[in-house]
């Protein structure tokens, strides 16, 4: 290989589209912008959702509902995840360290999904009614 033989890969380089450069280019006269109107003018465009002065859809529809900002601090753990974790005592820090809940989680609840055979002691963690009976049946406790 010589320095004078180096070429870019096939298809890597292509001619740039030059608009408004005469009839032969295929993009002369209106330069692909069509005829008249706001979109054909230089600097003439609008913000997202603008409908030409008509009341935009997002303002025509009624506002409805509410999303609580405190929900992001809640997390859930399944019985199957506790089984796989294999710790005798489980608290919030242990779950965060294992990556089962997010780092911003403050409230954790165990849900009944999967089976639990090992005795697990939960500290500062809630559980649903079904999960609670499953934990106690396996010999675990909730504190």
Q: What is the pLDDT of residues 30-49, one digit of tens each?
A: 999 999 998 899 998 889 99
- The CATH number of 70-142, from 3.100.10.10, 3.40.50.980, 2.60.40.10, 1.10.287.3510, is 3.100.10.10
Model confidence at 1, pLDDT cuts 50, 70, 90, reads confident
* Residue-averaged pLDDT of the chain: 94
User: Could you give the strand order of the β-sheet that contains 126-127, starting from the edge strand earlier in sequence?
Assistant: 74-78, 107-111, 126-127
Question: In whole angstroms, what is the distance from residue 79 CA to residue 132 CA?
Answer: 10
Q: Using one digit for the tens of pLDDT, what is the confidence trace for 93-122?
A: 999 999 999 999 999 999 999 999 999 999
Question: In whole angstroms, what is the distance from residue 140 CA to residue 130 CA?
Answer: 14
Going by C-alpha positions, the residue among 103, 104, 105, 109 that lies closest to residue 122 is 109
DSSP state, 18? Answer: -
Q: Give the pairing of strands 74-78 and 89-90.
A: unpaired
- The domain ranges of the chain are 17-48, 70-142
Q: Using one digit for the tens of pLDDT, what is the confidence trace for 56-100?
A: 999 999 999 999 999 999 999 999 999 999 899 999 999 999 999
């Amino acid at each position: 290989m010589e320095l004078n033989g180096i070429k870019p890969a096939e298809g890597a380089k292509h001619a740039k589209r030059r608009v408004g450069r005469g009839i032969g280019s295929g993009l002369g006269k209106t330069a692909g912008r069509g005829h008249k109107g706001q979109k054909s003018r230089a600097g003439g465009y609008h913000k997202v959702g603008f409908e030409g002065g008509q009341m935009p859809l997002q303002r025509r529809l009624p506002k409805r509902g509410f999303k609580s900002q405190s929900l992001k601090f809640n997390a859930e753990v399944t019985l199957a995840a506790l089984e796989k974790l294999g710790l005798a005592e489980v608290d919030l820090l242990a779950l965060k360290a294992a990556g089962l809940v997010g780092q911003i989680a403050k409230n954790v609840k165990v849900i009944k999904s999967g089976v639990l055979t090992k005795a697990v002691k939960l500290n500062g963690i809630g559980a649903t009614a079904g999960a609670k009976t499953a934990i106690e049946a396996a010999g675990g406790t909730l504190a």
